[in-house]
Chain A
Amino acid sequence: MRTALGLVWTIAWKDLRCELRAAGGIITMVLLGFLVVLVFSFCLESAARESASARSGILWAAFLFPGLVAVGRSFEGEKEVQCLEGLLLCPVDRSLIYLGKLLSSTILCWGSGLVVLVFFTALYNVGLGWEWPALLGIMLLLAAGLSAVGTLAAAVTVGVQARGALLSVLVLPLLVPLLVAAARCSVVLLGSEPWSGLGLWPVLMAIYDVVFVAVGIAIFEFVVE
């Protein structure tokens, strides 16, 4: 008898293994993140590049582009070879499938975000003290929220035309609270302000994540019946 957690991990691991086998997708995502950092750097003058708010803008843009791609991939493989039907035939609660997909795309977003953050750190002299793991933590909260909303949106848009663009248009407005919070946190962390400036923003992000994971669990069965 396998526990629910084991089942979630099995589904997530299946997706991650598919991604790792065809590593082209991951490499493309990471390169996309690098390019966003570069393009923004060319747009800003050297004085503006020093400001913490400009740098957090670059960081989150460079995180979001590959993140949206990662989220969009989560049902792509299933559609191509009709695996979604197979997955749905499994004697498993639908909400566990949602959680598995959520987990795999969170790891994918976070992982590509981590590589982008390393690149960003090298280019922008980000302090390597406690700010760095704190930024990673904020990135995890952002990745989880993006995946919670994005997995639903990805399932909703399976098979429609212009899917990638539509997915972004559906997800980004919903993501505004998370982006505002992440930007506030990174301005504090990148501007080496006292950490009390973080305030309740990480809590807001955690609440957002919990709310949308709960909504996703409740509503996912309607998406894929």
Chain B
Amino acid sequence: MDDLVRRRRSVLAAWGMVTGAIMALAAVAALFLAPREGEMGEVQRLFYFHMPCAWVALGLAITCVFGFSIAYLVTRNLRYDRIAAAAAEIGVMFTTITLITGSLWAKPVWGVYWTWEPRLTTTLILWFIYVGYLLLRWVAAPGHKRARLAAVYGVVGWVDVPIVFLSIWWWRTVHPRILGSGGFAIAGSMAWVLALCLAAFTLLFVYLLVLRVRILNLSSLLAEREAQAEDEGVEK
């Protein structure tokens, strides 16, 4: 292992420690320091985790999948394909967390775990698109062909998301709205806590992404080296 790899490893560790510290700070702030919301009570504190997870899944991860899919199609560098794959995987995880925390929040506030609210429904459909993307990668053999096909699906899926949201939003305005919007005014100190949580989850996303991409890079490097070693063995 050369110096470069070693240095990168220490940068990664430092990044992890900073992320961990800020995550802990954000958790303490959200659970204890933020003011108690009058109408919903303690369960409103889930919002400080729910909303940043949604931001990571619906904002950061899918944009990464789209951007790096395009980057792959333009440059044909498999490194970009691996970043898109890692972002999709992390996207599935955060979409799942968003759905679970959203349901847990909806139950005491709206009385049901699920409602066909546009944001909820779009998140669920996005989950299916992400999982479809990963399934496609899973069943195809690794290489440039898989990267190309996955990139195409990544681009198409990204184009679909705003249309899905629009259609569900229209659909809901047609149906009678039984449930309230569940909104609340964000007080000044709440905004600070929310900003801290958003920063913490963004850092966490980057950390996970770098870690996952590193694993994908190393395993393709390993496959390369092993093939090389085999060739050398044959020559001897």
- Identify the A interface with B (CB < 8 A): 149, 152-153, 156-157, 160-162, 166, 169-170, 172-174, 176-177, 180-181, 184, 199-201, 204, 207-208, 211-212, 215, 219, 222-223, 225
Residues of chain B within 8 A (CB-CB) of A177 are 160, 163-164, 166-168
Given A204-B166, A212-B159, A219-B156: A173 and B125 interface contact (C-beta under 8 Å):
yes
Looking at the assembled complex, report how far the CB atom of A172 sits from the nearest CB atom of chain B, in whole angstroms: 8
Residues of chain B within 8 A (CB-CB) of A215 are 155-156, 159
- Produce 1/0 per residue, B62-92, CB < 8 A to A: 0000000000010000000000000000000
Residues of chain B within 8 A (CB-CB) of A211 are 159, 163
Q: Which of B12-20, B134-142, B209-217 contacts A (4 or more CB under 8 A)?
A: B134-142
Residues of chain A within 8 A (CB-CB) of B136 are 156-157, 160, 166, 170
Looking at the assembled complex, report how far the CB atom of A95 sits from the nearest CB atom of chain B, in whole angstroms: 14
List 28 A-B residue pairs with CB atoms under 8 Å apart, sorted by A's residue number.
A153-B153, A156-B149, A160-B136, A166-B135, A166-B139, A169-B131, A170-B136, A173-B129, A173-B132, A173-B160, A174-B160, A176-B125, A176-B160, A176-B167, A177-B160, A177-B163, A177-B164, A177-B167, A180-B170, A180-B171, A201-B170, A204-B163, A204-B166, A204-B167, A215-B155, A219-B152, A219-B155, A222-B148
Q: Which residue of B lies closest to A224 (CB)?
A: B148
Q: Is B174 an interface residue (CB 8 A)?
A: yes
Residues of chain A within 8 A (CB-CB) of B35 are none
A222 touches B160 (CB 8 A): no
Best-surrounded residue of B125, B136, B140, B152 (most CB of chain A within 10 A): B152
Interface size, chain B (Cβ < 8 Å): 28
Looking at the assembled complex, report how far the CB atom of A213 sits from the nearest CB atom of chain B, in whole angstroms: 12
- Produce 1/0 per residue, B116-145, CB < 8 A to A: 000000000100110110011001100000
Given A156-B136, A162-B139: A181 and B156 interface contact (C-beta under 8 Å):
no
Given A152-B156, A160-B140, A212-B159: A204 and B132 interface contact (C-beta under 8 Å):
no
B170 touches A222 (CB 8 A): no
Residues of chain A within 8 A (CB-CB) of B167 are 176-177, 180-181, 204
- A208 touches which one: B128, B135, B163 (CB < 8 A)? B163
Given A174-B129, A184-B171, A223-B149: A169 and B164 interface contact (C-beta under 8 Å):
no
Q: Which residue of B lies closest to A216 (CB)?
A: B156
B132 touches A170 (CB 8 A): yes
Residues of chain B within 8 A (CB-CB) of A181 are 167
